[in-house]
Chains A and B, each alone.
Chain A
Amino acid sequence: MYIRVKRNKTTYFIQCDPTETILNIKQKLQSITDHPPNNQRLILLATNNILDDSKTLADQKVENDAVVALALRKDNEFEEVSIADPSDYMASS
């Protein structure tokens, strides 16, 4: 399966397995974004639940193609969830 991790105008497609923990996912994100797991917060968009590092994707009902928001820690506080909407942007062409 895969999940879509979104922040602002960026979407990361992460290939994963229902038995993987959220920490595993954060480690995969670290390899792409360079942000360590403890600076990442993942929120399942469908329920607004903050996902727990120690639990698995299946435990927290994160299914194939789920959209998960990424918030990063800035100055000891996590930023607000922000996902840009394409309809707010005009195509450049």
Chain B
Amino acid sequence: MVGKGGEAAASAQHKEEHEEDGDMVGVVKLISAEGFEFVIDKKAAMVSNTLRNMLTSPGGFAETREGEVRFPEISTAILEKICQYFYWSLHYASGKETAEFPIEPEITLELMMAANYLDT
């Protein structure tokens, strides 16, 4: 690619970058109902089957090609809790050591609904 100019080369490179988006590297941005942004590692997002499908399906969703997923139905507090859960899950899913994942009673219902949607 080095030293080759022209539109064809540029668009080929662009395509490669898009294909790399399917990998486990890099970050994704999750956006809450109030417009708050959570930037998390792609491998953390993969804890959610819904996000995994979005991030890995061929062709992909427009949002995930951009590296952004909007959740107009999920409030900031719940989305943050979900991101915390992704990281907790990455660390403790191996089962070698355990720690409780704390959930405040007042958010339980909303969190369950979001978890159900995200298949997490």
Q: Write the A1-21 contact mask toward B (1 if CB under 8 angstroms, else 0).
A: 110100001111101000000
Could you say which residues of chain B place their CB within 8 Å of the CB of A12? 39
Are A13's CB and B34's CB within 8 A?
Answer: no
Alpha-carbon distance between A10 and B33 when the two chains are bound, in angstroms: 13
Inter-chain CB contacts under 8 Å: number: 56
Could you say which residues of chain B place their CB within 8 Å of the CB of A9? 34-37
For chain B, the count of residues having a C-beta within 8 Å of the partner chain is 24
* Residue B40 interfacial (CB < 8 Å): yes
A15 closest partner in B (C-beta): B41
Are B75's CB and A91's CB within 8 A?
Answer: yes
Alpha-carbon distance between A12 and B36 when the two chains are bound, in angstroms: 11
* Residue A92 interfacial (CB < 8 Å): yes
Are B73's CB and A93's CB within 8 A?
Answer: yes
Stretch at the interface among B8-16, B50-58, B79-87, B106-114: B79-87
Are B77's CB and A86's CB within 8 A?
Answer: yes
- By size class, the interface of chain A is 10 to 19
Which 6 pairs between the two chains have the least Cβ-Cβ distance? A86-B76, A91-B33, A89-B34, A93-B72, A10-B37, A2-B87
Q: Give 24 pairs: A residue, B residue, CB < 8 Å, sorted on A.
A: A1-B91, A2-B87, A4-B80, A9-B37, A10-B38, A11-B39, A11-B83, A13-B40, A13-B41, A13-B83, A13-B86, A15-B90, A86-B32, A86-B34, A86-B77, A89-B34, A89-B36, A89-B76, A90-B34, A91-B33, A91-B75, A92-B34, A93-B33, A93-B73
Q: Using CB atoms and an 8 Å cutoff, list the residues of chain B in contact with chain A.
A: 27, 32-41, 44, 72-73, 75-77, 80, 83-84, 86-87, 90-91
